[in-house]
Amino acid sequence: MTERDLRQEIKASPAQLHYADTLFYGALFGFVLMLITYTLYVFGVLTPQIPLEELPKLWTQSAAAYRAAGDIPQGWGWLALVNKGDICNFIGIAFLAALTILCFLQLAVNLARRGQWLMMTIALLEVLVLCLAASGVLVAGAH
Amino acid sequence: MTWDTHAASHSGAKILFVFFVLLLTTVYLSGPALAGQTLCLSQKEAAPMAELHATNQASALSVADSTKSASSQEPQPAQPAQAAAPVDNHPWWFWPVSLLFFCFILGIIAVMAGVGGGVLFVPLVSGFFPFHLDFVRGAGLMVALAGALAAGPGLLRRNFANLRLALPVALIASACAIAGAMLGLALPTSIVQTCLGVTILGIAVLLLLSKNSVRPVVNKQDAVGIALGMNGVFLEPSTGEVVEWKTHRTLAGLLLFIAIGIMAGMFGLGAGWANVPVLNLLMGAPLKVAVGTSKFLLSITDTSAAWVYMNQGCVIPLMAVPSIVGLMLGSVVGVRLLAIAKPKFIRYMVIAVLFFSGAKALLKGLGW
């Protein structure tokens, strides 16, 4: 590798830099969103699905018991209750969890433009895996 | 007058650790289980839970009175273990505020010890706080994910996290993390708790014995590494030196990420403790690239597991958000303290805490 090649290699690739930028601004937006919704929740601006004072009785139980007692829906069912103080926190949390999917979609496009087909395929497969996880179709047995 | 910075940093680390232990003790003694208030609920007494459900369906949720009546009844002997529920008389804000402070200290210590937050969060919070393991794992994944999302951009821009190294590894680990999360939620809590204890003890041994190599010698890159383009160059800022690297034993490394992904999903631990040794010692990536890529990897691996936990209702915002905020603020302070502190002492103390919390999780899982 010549010195010029090395200098080029030291720098992160444009695809990597794009990924970093999307991650940075997305994470910032997600954190701010999360803090806003949390503030609305704990200061009682929005009525929660489960009253705050009931939570200490429920968080010692399993997730299945918590869901049943509080009528907390599985998967994306929370969207129907997004006007509730506790449930609206999932907007920011879900955005943070979805951010990697957005970044990988952008990465796949960038890699395709540069003809890096193997890496692009891996990036697309990653999108599929993350979408499968996010879809809510994978339901574990309750214990 | 001279100021001995070495001695000052050493004593500062000790003070921090003593403060941390005191905080843990306070939280533990505040716990409902030790206050002699543990209550076994019979089927009849479990009615308030059903009532909560029924009332909630009518759009207003109120079970305070029925719960009071439950707690006023005599405890029933020989009830099933699953029906046992501790009564917590603290106000609702007590545990979130405790978590915020606890995670703030945890964030400082984690950065100084060079471990991720998740690996300390899950065993300690499940051992010393009243939350069920399902919610602790859900919050642990969110904590690890938030830390990775915050650190990712900087690592990618400086080329310390390498996409070519991360992508194939992330695909395997994230797919297996889903399987691990589903397994962890399907298995009985006692089994998961026992396995968690064994894993934490194993991590403590790994941290104690592993000697990472700053620049492993890789004479020849293997075929898989070449095919996946797992090589690169980075600038060592401290010396201005340009470091070229490539991987070997790539297939073995990729296979190990199956186990890492499963454990990350099953226990909600994050997986930096396992990523770094595999990338560095086995595959031959330089330590800085291994650490940077590992942290970036968590943003992908933990995302897949976090979705499974979130979809199952295992993330309670009231406890997850203070944990995330506390740990992130602590990490910021920890990075600043890192310049003056003595991380080696903290590292050994963290290993001791891991041994203790691992043993506690193991005993709890075994019902002792």
pLDDT digits (tens, 9 = 90+) for A1-24: 566 666 667 788 888 899 999 999
Write out residues 19-48 of A within 8 Å (CB-CB) of B.
19-21, 23-24, 26-27, 30-31, 34-35, 37-38, 41-42
- pLDDT, position B35: 38
pLDDT in tens, A97-111: 999 999 999 999 999
- Per-position b or e across B89-114, b if 16+ CB within 10 A of its CB: eeebeebbebbbebbbbbbbbbbbbb
Residue A143 pLDDT class (50, 70, 90 cuts): low
pTM for the model:
0.81
pLDDT in tens, A37-81: 999 999 999 999 999 999 998 999 999 999 999 888 888 999 999
- pLDDT, position B66: 40
B52 contacts A55? CB cut-off 8 A: no
Residues in chain A: 143
Cα of first residue to Cα of last residue in chain A, in angstroms, is: 57
Shortest Cα distance, chain B CAs vs residue A113, angstroms: 16
Burial environment of residue B282 by CB neighbours within 10 A (0 to 12, 13 to 18, 19 or more): middle
Shortest Cα distance, chain A CAs vs residue B47, angstroms: 10
Option in A57, A63, A70 nearest B67 (CB): A57
Task: Tell me which amino acid residue A102 is.
Answer: L
B157 contacts A70? CB cut-off 8 A: no
Q: Tell me if A30 sits within 8 A of A99, measured CB to CB.
A: yes
- pLDDT, position B233: 86
Q: Tell me if B89 sits within 8 A of B32, measured CB to CB.
A: yes
Shortest Cα distance, chain A CAs vs residue B164, angstroms: 8
pLDDT in tens, B7-60: 555 566 666 666 666 666 666 666 554 433 333 333 443 444 445 555 555 443
Other C-beta atoms closer than 10 Å to the C-beta of B84 total 14
Return d(Cα B139, Cα A33) in angstroms, integer: 18
DSSP 8-state class, residue A26: H
Which ipTM value was assigned to this complex? 0.92
A100 at B interface, C-beta within 8 A: yes
Helix (H) or strand (E) holding A74: none
DSSP 8-state class, residue B249: S
- pLDDT, position B17: 67
- pLDDT, position B39: 36
pLDDT values of chain B reduced to their tens digit, one per residue, 368 residues: 444 545 555 566 666 666 666 666 666 666 554 433 333 333 443 444 445 555 555 443 443 344 333 334 334 443 444 445 556 678 889 999 999 999 999 888 887 776 777 888 998 898 889 999 999 999 999 998 888 888 888 888 888 888 899 999 999 999 999 999 999 999 999 999 999 999 999 988 888 887 777 788 888 899 999 999 998 888 877 777 888 899 999 999 999 999 999 999 999 887 888 888 899 889 999 888 888 898 889 889 989 999 999 999 999 999 999 999 998 888 888 777 766 666 677 778 788 888 988 898 898 888 87
A9 contacts B313? CB cut-off 8 A: no
Structure tokens at A126: 């990653």
Residue of A nearest to B138 (CA): A63
Helix (H) or strand (E) holding B7: helix B5-30
Question: Coil, strand, or helix at residue A6?
Answer: helix
